[in-house]
Every structure is written in structure tokens, then in C-alpha cells.
Amino acid sequence: MNFGGVIEEVMTREEFPLEKAREVLKNETIAVLGYGVQGPGQAQNLRDNGFNVIVGQREGKTFDKAVADGWVPGETLFSIEKAAERGTIVCLLLSDAAQMQLWPKIAPHITAGKTLYFSHGFAITWNDRTGVVPPKDVDVIMVAPKGSGTSLRTMFLEGRGLNSSYAIYQDASGHALDKVLAFGIGIGSGYLFETTFQREAVSDLTGERGSLMGAIQGLLLAQYEVLRENGHTPSEAFNETVEELTQSLMPLFAQKGMDWMYANCSTTAQRGALDWMGPFHDAIKPVVQKLYTSVKNGEEAQISIDSNSKPGYREGLEQELKALRESEMWRTAAVVRQLRPENN
């Protein structure tokens, strides 16, 4: 397929239909370890598509959520170790921190002939730091949906598919390619494009820290603050910074591209956007390059590993998220959301 002049091979559901995926994985027991972020969407989609799925989860609120979603303790819902023992395809959908913590308990169950599956390349790419080193006699594969597990599930129920990348780190069986493509179709991917564990990990960490989360919050906050500091009300500053972007403009460029979104705005907006696009690019690109270098050389991975291993990390994280939630911009957001027509 031609992507802006670059030819790239992709796999669609027409080329690798669900029936073929079921045939490839018909004798497999898929053990989804972790029912937090990606686990629910992937496990439920696989189950609904007719695959043999079990879930491994520690007891607590998340275990109770799995029960509420129809997983039966002792039949399709087990402890993490027991699910790893029973599964022939063992899916590490735990957080990166939990993968490192629990790997010593999971590893003994990753026996010859099994398949180890990931949805993120972190643990394998930096396994000299994480300690997640798979044995040589198993397949190691990855399907990484390009969105949250919630989006994966929602789009599946709507009859759509979330695009995913796939990779093979180790092909002990000689059949890893069929397995990974079947798995990608089984979880409801829209189309599948090839990557490596290393490229996925680096691009994912760069995206999260950049345009997907870190940079977008920094940009929105900077504009909101400038408007507020110059006398604009919270409602005006928020609407001009966030609400119009998310509710009006994002759907336009998601549907048909940035040029189409520009074409559907006023000529004044078009002129200003085209003129200021360059200065923003020139200011931001060095920061993105610095970020990419930090990710590529493992610094960001080490920061995550060190932070996640500190006592009281979760409590500290909640305080940081609370400060974000209680900032004026996002307190304003809560009010604006309530004022949307669908909420009245």
C-alpha cells in the first residue's frame, strides 16, 4: 500500500479472514495475564470471536471486574501463575512494572513449544534492565493496538477495528507469523502493519511523551495560561484552547485530513494557521529530537523502571494526577462538559 509515496505492506481482514485466524489458533489456549488496560478489550474480543480464552488476574477490584465481565473463577478466570501454566499462548498484558515484578513467577510456566505474547515492546527491548528474558524454545510475538483497550473494545462492538502493529522477536516453531497475524485479527484489528519490538517501544514511548499526551498537555496549558494572563475568562480560554479542538476540529481532520479541516475553517483561520505552523514546528522539533534520543538510548526506560520500583510510587503518582485534575483548566473542563447539549 502507498503511504504518501512510501510503499508499505499491510495485512487486512480481507486478506487474513477471521475463519483463517480461528483455524490457526484452534488448538491454543490463550491466557491473558492482566485485566487492567489492554486485557479486557483483547480478552473479550477474542472470546466473542470464538477463541479459547482464559484470564489470569490477582484478586481485588480488577479480579471482580473480570467476574462482572463474565469470566468464571476456576473455569476461565485464575491466578496469574495458574493461567500461565494452563495457557499455550501466554499474553503478558500486565503493566511494564508488573511484568518485571512477576516475571520470576511466570517464567517457569513458559515451557518449550509455548508462545509468549506482548502488546508493548518495552520489557523485551530493554530486557537487560527489565530481566524479562524468554527461553529460546518458545515463540515471542507482539500485536500492539494503536489505542487503548477501551477503544479496541468499543470499536469492535461498533463493527470497526483499531489498527495494530505486529512483530516477531523469536520464531522457534516456524509458525510465528501465522500466529501473530491470527492473533491480530482475533482481537479485532482494523489492519496490521509490521514493526519490530524495538521500533514499537521507541515510537510508543516517544508518542506518549510527545503528541499523544505530554506535548499536547503542555501546549494546551501554555495557550490557556497566556489567554488567562491577558484577561480572558476561564470559559473563553478553555473553549478556544480545548473544547473547539476536541469537539469540532479533531473529528474533521480525523475524517479526511488536516487540509480538509483547514478548508472547513474561515479564511482568516486558514491564513493564520499556515503562517504559524512553521514557527511552532521549528520550536518544537528540537524538543521532540531530544525526547527521541532519550527514549532510544534507554534513559526514559530507566526512569520508568526506577520510578515504578520506588516505595510509595502509586501514592506519589496519584498526587501528580490530582494536581492535574484540580488545575483551573481541567476544573473548567468539568463544567464545560456538563454544559454540553447532550448532558442537558
Distance (Å, rounded) from C-alpha 323 to C-alpha 329? 11
Question: Would strands 189-194 and 162-170 be described as parallel, antiparallel, or unpaired?
Answer: parallel
Q: Is residue 109 among the annotated active site residues?
A: no
Query: Contact, 50 vs 19, CB < 8 A?
Result: no
Burial class (CB in 10 A: 0-12, 13-18, 19+), 242: buried
201-224 as b/e: b if 16+ CB within 10 A: bbbbbbbebbeeeebeeeebbebb
- Amino acid in position 35: Y
Count of H helices and E strands in the chain? Answer: 19, 11
Query: Is 63:87 a contact under the CB 8 Å cutoff?
Result: no
- The single-letter code of the amino acid at 333 is A
Task: List the one residue out of 31, 25, 166 whose CA is nearest residue 110.
Answer: 31
Residue among 120, 175, 232, 281 flagged as catalytic: 120
Separation between Cα atoms, residue 257 and residue 4, nearest integer Å: 13
- Compute the distance between CA of residue 145 and CA of residue 91 in angstroms, rounded to an integer: 14
Element (H, E) at 230: none
* Strand-pair partners of 144: 165
CA angle 42, 92, 317 (to 5 degrees): 95
DSSP state of 341: G
Catalytic residues: 120
